[in-house]
Structures are given as structure tokens and as C-alpha cells.
């Protein structure tokens, strides 16, 4: 019996074991480095990406093309009654629009619903997991969408950056701002609000920035049982230590530790740590 299939993009940060467990198809984010074109986690490892991030040519990320989505949707069509394609916020990425163009072009072969997560990283990932769980239960698209709508606005996400260097290199911060911030040792703490990144605090050291993220996360969910994802920039051991701090403050029902996608890492760089929370 055919059922609803779930697609997302690699900016969701879904670990491979979760992709496999819930039968979620992930379309890779394209990465351009000079004349070289790569696909995240396909022909460019995380180690190589971070090595190239400090090279002479700054990596650039973009949205998967409509053609890449078309190829994915057609491949799934034989086993899918419908497809729900869950993606990073349309306010900061063209991925949803690219997926919509592809959905229209395959409409005669399979019905594809593009769902804007209105968040980033494992916020998108948690919604993809929820959609996949619902699909495995045999729910229809309308039932799945209703479930996702009920969860989407509850997601909270906070990020600590160890340096302003990569924000400046990627063009999100002027050179003068970066130099001024570095001289003062400013470490920004960022929250994802309504699909946009917003600086919510500035502190004088990275350990303090991490502590502040723990405080904000604990305040955001209180003692409500919550699914939690700790996302890191090629710094797994630091992420594990950070997760231990969260466990002391938050009632965690599910913990995911994963690598942040290149579309965020290109601005935050190595050692960035973020937390995504979904209170239940």
C-alpha cells in the first residue's frame, strides 16, 4: 500500500541513522568553492568543508535546484501516494521556492506538498521526523499537516558563535563591525524567531555564550518534557559536554547530537554550538 513519503534538505541536520529509521529522503545542499561544485555529505565531508572554510576562497551555499527536487520526487513517486517536502524557512532560503517549482512540474505524476518549517537546522529536522512518524502510521497529508502546524510554533532555537570571523567573511557583517567586535571579544547569542536569525545577547567570552544558551533554553521550555537537538560545527566532544549541561536544566525526552548544516556553518564556523527545542 502506498503512503505519504517525506523529503527534506540537508540543512535540517538529520543524522543518517534517523534518516534511515524514519525513511526520510534528504536532498543535499549545493556548495560552491571556487570552480568546484559539491553536495553536502555526498562528495564533501564535514572535515573537508571546515578545512576549505579557512581557505582563500570562501565556500558559498545555495538551494537545491528544481531539477534535483524533480529527480527526487519522480524516484519516490512509484512508492508514494503523496509527498510532503519539509524545508528550511523560506525567509532565509530559496529552498521552499525551488521545491514548489519542482512540485508543479511533477503534478501529473505525483502530488507534492511543500511545507515551510519557518525554522532552521533540527527545527526542520524535528518536523520532518514528526511527518515521517505520521506517514508510517498511515495518516493522510491533511492529518500530517495539522500535526505539523500544531508543533511548528513551539520550536525554539538558540546558537552561540565563538567568533565573528565567518559572519564577516560571508558578508553578513562588515569588516569594521567584525574588528570592533573582536577587539571587545564579543560573542553573539542568536535566536531563531519567526524564521529569522536575531541577536538576543552579546557576551565577552565563548564559555559565557554557551552558558547563556543553556539559560535561554531552560527558560524557553521550563520543566516541560522536550525533544532537544544539540547541533555543532565539527566539535562533537564540545557538543556532548554542552548536552550534559542541558540535561541538568531541561526534562529531555529525546536527545539528538548532530552536525550543523553547511548553510549555517558557513556563517558560524567551526565550534559553533546550537540547541533546538521542541516542547511536547
Which own/partner pairs from 193-199 qualify as long-range (CB within 8 Å, at least 24 positions apart)?
194/91, 194/118, 195/89, 195/90, 195/91, 195/92, 195/116, 195/118, 195/119, 196/89, 196/91, 196/92, 197/92, 197/120, 197/159
3-state secondary structure of 119: coil
pLDDT band at 178 (very low <50, low <70, confident <90, very high): very low
CB count within 10 Å of CB 138 equals 10
Looking at per-residue pLDDT, the higher value among 55 and 151 belongs to 151
- According to DSSP, the residues that pair with 275 across neighbouring strands are 158, 230
- The DSSP secondary structure of 120-157, one letter per residue, reads -THHHHHHHHHHHHHHHTT--HHHHHHHHHHHHTT-EE
Q: What is the residue whose three cell numbers read 526520510?
A: 24
**Domain spanning 3-29+64-152: CATH 3.40.50.10170:** yes
In the chain, where the domains are located? 3-29+64-152, 156-279
Average pLDDT, the chain: 90
- According to DSSP, the residues that pair with 182 across neighbouring strands are none
- Confidence (pLDDT) at 173: 43
Condensed to tens digits (0 to 9), the pLDDT of residues 215-248 reads 999 999 989 999 999 999 999 999 999 999 999 9
**Rounded to whole angstroms, how far apart are CA atoms 147 and 163?**
38
Say if CB 217 and CB 275 are below 8 A apart. Answer: yes
Q: What is the CATH number of domain 156-279?
A: 3.30.1180.10
- According to DSSP, the residues that pair with 192 across neighbouring strands are 197
Condensed to tens digits (0 to 9), the pLDDT of residues 137-175 reads 999 999 999 999 999 999 999 999 998 788 766 554 444
Please, how many CA atoms are within 13 Å of residue 248, restricted to the half-sphere of its CB? 7
What whole-number percentage of the chain has pLDDT above 70?
A: 93
Condensed to tens digits (0 to 9), the pLDDT of residues 243-276 reads 999 999 999 999 999 999 888 898 889 999 999 9
**Rounded to whole angstroms, how far apart are CA atoms 12 and 115?**
13
Q: Which residues are CB-contacts of 251 (< 8 A; sequence separation ≥ 6)?
A: 221, 223, 224, 225, 226
Is the pLDDT assigned to residue 107 strictly greater than 50? yes
The predicted model gives 167-194 an average pLDDT of 61
Say if CB 168 and CB 174 are below 8 A apart. Answer: yes
- Confidence (pLDDT) at 22: 95
3-state secondary structure of 202: strand
The predicted model gives 15-23 an average pLDDT of 95
What whole-number percentage of the chain has pLDDT above 90?
A: 69
Is the overall model pTM greater than 0.85, yes or no?
yes
Amino acid at each position: 500500500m502506498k503512503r505519504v513519503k517525506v523529503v527534506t534538505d540537508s540543512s535540517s541536520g538529520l543524522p543518517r541513522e534517523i534518516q534511515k529509521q524514519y525513511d526520510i529522503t534528504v536532498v543535499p545542499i549545493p556548495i560552491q568553492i571556487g570552480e568546484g561544485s559539491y553536495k553536502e555529505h555526498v562528495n564533501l565531508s564535514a572535515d573537508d568543508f571546515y578545512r576549505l572554510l579557512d581557505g582563500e576562497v570562501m565556500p558559498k551555499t545555495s538551494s537545491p535546484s528544481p531539477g534535483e527536487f524533480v529527480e527526487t520526487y519522480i524516484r519516490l513517486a512509484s512508492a508514494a501516494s503523496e509527498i510532503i517536502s519539509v524545508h528550511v524557512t523560506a525567509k532565509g532560503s530559496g529552498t521552499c521556492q525551488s521545491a514548489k517549482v519542482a512540485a508543479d512540474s511533477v503534478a501529473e505524476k505525483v502530488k507534492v506538498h511543500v511545507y515551510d518549517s519557518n525554522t532552521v537546522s533540527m527545527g526542520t529536522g524535528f518536523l520532518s521526523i514528526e511527518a515521517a512518524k505520521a506517514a508510517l502510521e498511515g495518516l493522510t497529508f491533511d492529518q500530517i499537516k495539522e500535526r505539523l502546524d500544531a508543533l511548528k510554533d513551539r520550536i525554539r532555537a538558540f546558537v552561540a558563535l565563538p567568533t565573528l570571523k565567518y559572519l564577516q567573511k560571508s558578508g553578513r557583517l562588515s569588516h569594521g563591525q567584525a574588528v570592533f567586535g573582536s577587539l571587545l571579544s564579543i560573542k553573539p547569542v542568536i535566536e531563531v524567531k519567526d524564521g529569522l536569525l536575531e541577536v538576543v545577547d552579546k557576551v565577552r567570552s565563548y564559555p559565557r555564550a554557551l552558558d547563556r544558551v543553556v539559560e535561554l533554553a531552560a527558560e524557553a521550555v521550563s520543566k516541560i518534557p522536550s525533544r532537544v537537538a544539540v547541533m555543532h560545527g565539527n566539535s562533537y566532544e564540545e557538543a556532548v559536554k554542552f548536552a550534559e549541561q542541558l540535561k541538568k536544566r531541561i526534562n529531555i525526552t529525546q536527545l539528538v547530537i548532530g552536525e550543523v548544516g553547511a548553510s549555517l556553518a558557513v556563517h558560524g564556523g567551526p565550534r559553533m554550538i546550537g540547541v533546538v527545542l521542541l516542547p511536547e
